[in-house]
Amino acid sequence: MRLRTLAREAWANLVSGTSRVGLLAVVFALIIGGIAAIDTHVSLGVIRRADEFRSSGSATSALRATAGISGTQCDALAGSPPLHASGAIRSGDPLRLGAMPDVTIHSWEVTASFVELLPHIAPVEVPAESSLTGVWLSADLAGMLGIRPGDDVATSLGSAVVGGIYEWPDDGRARELGFTILVPTDPQGDFDACWVHVWPQNTAATSLVYLSLTGAPEEAELGQLNARLGAQFNAHAAMESRLTRHAAGAALVLGAALGAAAMRLRRLELASALHARVAKSDLVAGQVLEALGWLIPGGVIALAGVVIPAAWIQRTIVHEAFVGELAAVGASVIAAGAAGALLATIVSVALSQEKHLFALFKSR
C-alpha cells in the first residue's frame, strides 16, 4: 500500500472516531500522567531534601587557619563544577551603627566572591566611593534597622552603602555570621578561613580548599558549615531508591495494556482487513499511525500535568535547575508509557490472523 494512501486511511479512521482517539488519549493521560505526576511528586521530595541540604550550608565546607589562608588562592578555587563558589573571610574591626550607638557590631572582612556562598536577597551594584561601600548586612540586623539594599548606613568608621543583605537563619549553621556586617575587601593578604561550596558533594573537590592554605596543615581545621542534616547527602542514591523508582516500568506495562486493549477492541476489524488482502506490514504501519494519533495528544496532556506544577515549583524552590530534572522524570515515565503502547500495538497487529475471523464469528 502506498504511504500516502496508508496515511489517508489512518486519517479517515482517526477523524471518523474508529480509532477512539479522544477516549484513548484521555485514558492514557489519566493513567500514565497520573503515574508521572506521582513519581514527580516523590522525586520532588528528594529534590527538596537535596535543596534543604544544600541551602542549609551542609554542602559548604570551611578550612579554618587563623591568618593562614591566601585570599587570592581561595577566590581562585571557584568556577569549575562541582566546586561552585569559594571565598575567604577574616575577623574585622568592631563597628557601631548610628542607629544603635551603644551596641558594638562584629564585622568580617571578606573577599568579593565570598557573598556568592550566602543565600542573599537582592544585591545591588554600588560605586566604590569608600572602603565601606557595598557592605553586606545579615537579614536579622537589617530587619531590626529597617535597612534595604542600596540604603546608606552610618557607622563609627564612616558612611557605607548597603550592597546586599544575606539570610543567616538559626538552622544549625555556625552562628558567626548572624547579626553582623560583611565588608568586601582586597583578596591580597592573609585570611582566617576559606569557604567552598561543593555540589554534588565530592571529597576530592572539597580537598582543593587546602590549596589556599599558607600556614602549617596541622594548624588547619576543615569542617562542615552546618552538620545538622548529616555529613553526606547522596541525591543520586536517594533518587535510585525512591518509592516510585519503578514508575517508568509500571508505565511501560500499563501503556502496553492500554495499547493491547485498544487493539483487542478492533480485533475483528484487523482480521477483516487481513481478509481484505491488506498486507500485515501495511496494517502494522497504519495502526502505529493511528496509535500516534492518541498517544501524542495524550502525552501532551500528561506532560502538561507534570510541567505546569513544575513551573509553579520553579517559583517556590531556590534552584531552577531542579525544574528540568523534574520535567525529565515525568517525561521519562510518559515516554515509557507511550513506548509500551506502541510496542503492544505492533505485537497485537503482528499476531492478528485472518483465520481469527472464523473463531470470532462462531463466538458471536
Partner 1 sequence: MESAVRATHLAHRFATTDWLFTDLSFSAAQGEIVGLVGPSGCGKSTLLSILAGWLTPTEGRVERHDIQHVGWVFQNPHGVARRTAVDHVALPLIAQGMSWGQAHDMAEEHLTTFGMDGLKDRLFMELSGGEAQRLMLARAVASSPDLLLVDEPTAQLDRTSADTVNTVLTQLASTQTIVVIATHDPDTRQACTRIVDLAHNVPRAGTDQGGTG
> Which of 11/179 has CB closer to partner 1?
11
Cβ pair 117, 86 in contact under 8 A: yes
Considering only the C-alpha atoms of the chain, give the largest distance between any 2 of them, rounded to a whole number of Å: 101
Stretch that binds partner 1, among 71-79, 160-168, 241-249, 273-281 (CB under 8 A): 273-281
Q: Is 276 in the site for partner 1 (CB under 8 A)?
A: yes
- What one-letter code names the amino acid at 329? V
Binding of residue 268 to partner 1 (CB under 8 A):
yes
- Rounded to whole angstroms, the Cα distance separating 46 from 43 reads 5
Q: Enumerate the β-bridge partners of residue 153.
A: 160
Give the range of 60-68, 248-256, 278-286, 306-314 binding partner 1 by CB under 8 A: 278-286
**Binding-residue pattern over the window 279 to 318 for partner 1, x denoting contact by CB under 8 A:** x--x------------------------------------
Instruction: State in angstroms the smallest separation of the CB of 364 from partner 1.
Output: 6
What is the x/- site pattern for partner 1, positions 9-28, by CB under 8 A? Answer: x--xx--xxx----------
Residue 278 touches partner 1, criterion: CB under 8 A: yes
C-alpha distances in angstroms, 165 versus 45, 120, 139, 152, 332?
Answer: 29, 6, 6, 13, 40
Name beta bridge partners: 107: 181
What do you get for the CA distance between the two ends of the chain, in Å?
31
C-beta neighbour count of 71 within 10 angstroms: 27
Residue 139 binds partner 1, judged by CB under 8 A: no
Q: Quick check: 352 binds partner 1 (CB under 8 A)?
A: no
Q: Does 101 bind partner 1 (CB under 8 A)?
A: no
Distance (Å, whole) CA 47 – CA 360: 52
Q: Which of 5, 156, 159, 234 binds partner 1 (CB under 8 A)?
A: 5
CA 77/CA 194 separation, integer angstroms: 10
From 3-11, 86-94, 173-181, 325-333, give the range in contact with partner 1 by CB under 8 A.
3-11
**Taking Cα atoms as reference points, which of 169, 130, 166 lies closest to residue 149?**
166
Is the CB of 149 or the CB of 293 nearer to partner 1? 293
Residue with cell 562584629: 106
Q: Which residues of this chain interact with partner 1, rule CB under 8 A?
A: 1-2, 4-5, 8-9, 12-13, 16-18, 268-269, 272-273, 275-279, 282, 354-355, 357-358, 361-362, 364
